[in-house]
Structure 1
């Protein structure tokens, strides 16, 4: 029995608000025209029934092929009546192997793949329940009472910024205060104005925000740091073993330096440099039971390149035994393609109205098992302001996306799922980090390494005035105050993951094949992947559906 047939039946029943006995689903799937059999069973189901029973299906099958007066129905009229999508009963199987070798044709489960991650071992393949290797649809007997999910740092409805100068001063002061607390325990910090009154040759330390970085004629580095009292120049000699870390600096990030004041106390010769960073002793939290979450991003419904078939395979697989432990779906932005996001985008749209895009996305969400908890944040293609932090959707869009009562939070947001803290950030600043830093520190081919830099700086978008738009609020929502157990981003359409000081950093790829615009900027996306996270161990498996 092909995997798609019973999974599709379960999905259609859930969409119409019915449960079903497992044997009933099997009987329908075994019919030559399973869609017509399902329609006949539902048409004859009592109005007050909530479950499709095996006995009722048997009874409807016995009369199938005849209309109300007992006459034969022509074969050509036995088509589906609800307008659902046609499904290829024998779809091609993609392995995700680098050499492109075909998968075992008998396997109905999506394969696992390693991607570009480092420090995270791919889990061993999960055996399917069916003896012939095809994963069967199941009744998901989950217990919602065991679930626990909380959200922090959601600024939706809290926006106070007006764009005035005072708002910017307030948000940068808040950033400095929060990050300087992470550093003051490591150095004996003195305010910049106090350094000028110290004697030449004194040992000194500064915690400051990077306001300028430039090289001298001799190849040394001059870094200007700013605190709430003023600025102070710091000289980093090129022969220092750690001097290459200067190339990792971004404007407006907060660091600490230690060193010796010049004879006139007008400059600090730096002996060491410190970032807020994740403590090397950090130990992540885990769930108390074996439960999983699917982490995806960049669905881009409305684009001509949206991978509809891959999404259907993913949604169908969620109804199988292998996916029975998945109780959460976390989407890191760009649910739809949007309108007017880049030049000539209208030529690549399949759905040209933004509200229709969200209506279509909501329909695709309905294919996901109804007992899966869905949490989402917006991205730069979504219908919210571009400046970060981005609030969640307004009421009009929320009313459109009613499937599963999916909850939308701001970008970024800290989502704690059964004790595991997941920092969800769409990832627009990754473009800037990759552009500014050396290739070995940040690249599109290994997006998780760019994420390491954000963890090191304890800020998801440290540089102001570049490509990443930042909105001044009453506080800086982009600071990573508490270390997350998992850092989940999207945006760059590349798959990569690894561990940084025991924090799992994941960029989850996308569900959109290469667009003409992406070709013009040399972006080759990793499409149709679904990373699956074991919340009790933080081990991860990546499934490929394209």
Structure 2
């Protein structure tokens, strides 16, 4: 629907780390059947749940593409700067190694590029410590997990801790393991939120590593085997654009006028520096044959009988028709246009001045010369979304492996966890959802999510936004939960903000948006420009339009506010979304775009509509280089 002028106004195994090139030579990659993209449906009572995990077959358009999943793994969407380097860690039999995860090896002992590393389960230690009222340094957890008798070591460490201790340090655990653990006044045992620095740990993860830079997920160290420790004081997190406690919309007509006027003012301001635009009513008074430029929001797009495109542009003064001839070199971008987005056009008026023949078309866009900010130290962030706790298909084992890995030395630089919505499965999101629920009470779902969140290291900085399955309003922008749910999810001092929000982590700005509008972008645009198989390409379109939900009146519900919280005023360094349950990442004009997949296996409903989710992946971003590495935990 176009805007109107009025409105506008248990794991112990051996792993092998091997170069990706070797794995690719051994990997079987069968071609699966074509997959149709998901359609949309409405919730009972008129609520729209427009994501691949909760749509019916009756609506939307079909997207076809090869099924890139296989028994042996999947071919990850490449970034713009794809590299064949990197390592992959796979579980194998030991010592009688004859086969491995993605092929066969005919040699033992393994050649020099193989590196055998043990895997432990520090998350079990964390859960036990939490149940006894303690937190611990990452290194302390790893020391306990790697002890010959982890349970006995944990018991001794807890028994020898001072009565007022809240956090066990690595030094205290070392003294306990050395038999000197009776330390009633041990200064290495923290009684508050002290230094959360990490130290050397043992262990590795049964995960696949692939990304835009070789070896970017490998733990870095200074000196011979001495791991760099970082203080919590080095960290910084700032949040901007959060609608929580700022919503003023009442749903009245004037609110819609206000939000669209604000959108037009801000987006037209980004465009006016590129063209010498005049209002539509002024252009209408110019003589025929004059050169003219218009900045406006698209109120209509239609093709002519001759195959040309007629685009109606609207500003606060009226509308004006603009014709894009099919033989113009930029005509191929017309199929990227969506209703209600702002663009600028330049051209020549017809002889009767009733139409503008377009010579050039401009989006607000990201400057090609954009230079992103980076952190001034080596630090990483894990980007995940769509956990869906409460679903029968929630991958609890994969989550535990992810949490285990976060406690290992390899993950010591992962100090931030950014979650882009859908923490739980929700209730009543799509028809017959109750048949696929493991937990039917929404509050119990969040309580269980909190228990899983406790498995990650307690010294990580966590930021979360809601999604369309979460217990918040569907209309965007979405506030960041009420006080009752916030209190349930108050784990490791997690920060909860609205959807969308810009989270600046050590100088690196991350635009976090759940991603409901990606469904509309994919439905409206050709497969080559936006698809579920390559969700990051749909994200490129939102960056180009400088708005996370440009089209009004479709499946993406937009709340009328005094200002449009969905405009992308400042170019982010990283754009992080979820929602579509597909993994994809790449760079658009130097902005890193990441859709982080999900933690939910294929549900019966998803299977019925040929939705093949990418589950159990965790993109890891080096904030000092913006390199992306994907870790696999299934």
Deviation at 1:165, TM superposition (A): 1.1
Q: Does 1:478 align with 2:595?
A: no
Q: Does 1:255 align with 2:343?
A: yes
Distance 1:122 1:511, change over 3 A: farther
The C-alpha deviation readout for 1:125-175, integer Å capped at 9, x for no partner, is: 62799xxxxxx9x99953121111111101101111111111111100111
Residue aligning to 1:199: 287
Provide the C-alpha distance between the structure 2 equivalents of 1:478 and 1:20, rounded to a whole number of angstroms. 39
Q: Does 1:172 align with 2:260?
A: yes
Q: Is the 8 A contact 2:204 2:410 kept in 1?
A: no
Deviation at 1:519, TM superposition (A): 1.3
Q: Is the 8 A contact 1:24 1:54 kept in 2?
A: no
Matches within 5 A, 1:279-428: 279-428=367-516
Residue aligning to 1:3: 119
The C-alpha deviation readout for 1:195-229, integer Å capped at 9, x for no partner, is: 11110000001000000000111111111000000
Q: Does 1:527 align with 2:615?
A: yes
Q: Does 1:109 align with 2:205?
A: yes
Deviation at 1:44, TM superposition (A): 6.6
Residue aligning to 2:57: none
SS in 2 for 1:181: helix
Q: Is the 8 A contact 2:275 2:344 kept in 1?
A: yes
Instruction: List runs of 5+ in structure 1 lacking aligned partners.
Output: 62-105, 130-135
Q: Is the 8 A contact 1:21 1:54 kept in 2?
A: no
Residue aligning to 1:17: 134
Distance 1:29 1:208, change over 3 A: same
The C-alpha deviation readout for 1:61-85, integer Å capped at 9, x for no partner, is: 9xxxxxxxxxxxxxxxxxxxxxxxx
Distance 1:475 1:356, change over 3 A: same
Deviation at 1:530, TM superposition (A): 0.7
Deviation at 1:353, TM superposition (A): 0.4
Q: Does 1:208 align with 2:296?
A: yes
Count of equivalent residues: 490
Deviation at 1:374, TM superposition (A): 0.3
Q: Does 1:219 align with 2:307?
A: yes
SS in 2 for 1:4: coil
Provide the C-alpha distance between the structure 2 equivalents of 1:128 and 1:459, rounded to a whole number of angstroms. 37
Instruction: List runs of 5+ in structure 2 lacking aligned partners.
Output: 1-11, 13-117, 182-201
Deviation at 1:18, TM superposition (A): 4.3
Deviation at 1:510, TM superposition (A): 0.5
Q: Is the 8 A contact 2:345 2:358 kept in 1?
A: yes
Match of 1:126 among 215, 218, 227: 218
Q: Is the 8 A contact 1:10 1:319 kept in 2?
A: no
Provide the C-alpha distance between the structure 2 equivalents of 1:162 and 1:378, rounded to a whole number of angstroms. 21
Q: Is the 8 A contact 2:401 2:633 kept in 1?
A: yes
Q: What's the Cα RMSD here?
A: 2.5
Residue aligning to 1:493: 581
Residue aligning to 2:527: 439
Deviation at 1:263, TM superposition (A): 1.1
Q: Does 1:275 align with 2:367?
A: no
Provide the C-alpha distance between the structure 2 equivalents of 1:24 and 1:350, rounded to a whole number of angstroms. 31
Deviation at 1:41, TM superposition (A): 5.3
Residue aligning to 1:506: 594
Residue aligning to 1:463: 551
The C-alpha deviation readout for 1:244-277, integer Å capped at 9, x for no partner, is: 2111110000001111111111111111111000
SS in 2 for 1:9: helix
Q: Is the 8 A contact 2:548 2:567 kept in 1?
A: yes
Deviates more, 1:44-53 or 1:217-226: 44-53
Q: Is the 8 A contact 1:112 1:541 kept in 2?
A: no
Q: Does 1:241 align with 2:329?
A: yes
Deviation at 1:58, TM superposition (A): 6.2
Residue aligning to 2:151: 35
SS in 1 for 2:492: helix
Provide the C-alpha distance between the structure 1 equivalents of 2:280 and 2:162, rounded to a whole number of angstroms. 79
Match of 1:145 among 230, 233, 250: 233
Deviation at 1:521, TM superposition (A): 2.2
Residue aligning to 2:95: none
Q: Is the 8 A contact 1:112 1:125 kept in 2?
A: no
Distance 1:122 1:348, change over 3 A: farther
Deviation at 1:49, TM superposition (A): 4.8
Distance 1:18 1:465, change over 3 A: closer
Q: Is the 8 A contact 2:395 2:600 kept in 1?
A: yes
Provide the C-alpha distance between the structure 2 equivalents of 1:290 and 1:127, rounded to a whole number of angstroms. 10
Residue aligning to 2:55: none
Provide the C-alpha distance between the structure 1 equivalents of 2:504 and 2:145, rounded to a whole number of angstroms. 40
SS in 2 for 1:150: strand
Residue aligning to 1:69: none
Provide the C-alpha distance between the structure 1 equivalents of 2:617 and 2:625, rounded to a whole number of angstroms. 21
Residue aligning to 2:197: none
SS in 2 for 1:512: coil
The C-alpha deviation readout for 1:483-526, integer Å capped at 9, x for no partner, is: 00100000000000000000000000011101112112221011
SS in 2 for 1:231: strand
Deviates more, 1:1-10 or 1:357-366: 1-10
Provide the C-alpha distance between the structure 2 equivalents of 1:337 and 1:111, rounded to a whole number of angstroms. 25
Provide the C-alpha distance between the structure 1 equivalents of 2:138 and 2:465, rounded to a whole number of angstroms. 35
Q: Is the 8 A contact 2:208 2:633 kept in 1?
A: no
Distance 1:386 1:204, change over 3 A: same
Q: Is the 8 A contact 2:348 2:357 kept in 1?
A: yes
SS in 2 for 1:205: strand
SS in 2 for 1:159: coil
Provide the C-alpha distance between the structure 2 equivalents of 1:27 and 1:471, rounded to a whole number of angstroms. 50
Give the structure-2-normalised TM-score. 0.73
Q: Is the 8 A contact 1:14 1:369 kept in 2?
A: no
The C-alpha deviation readout for 1:429-448, integer Å capped at 9, x for no partner, is: 00000001000000000000
SS in 2 for 1:403: coil
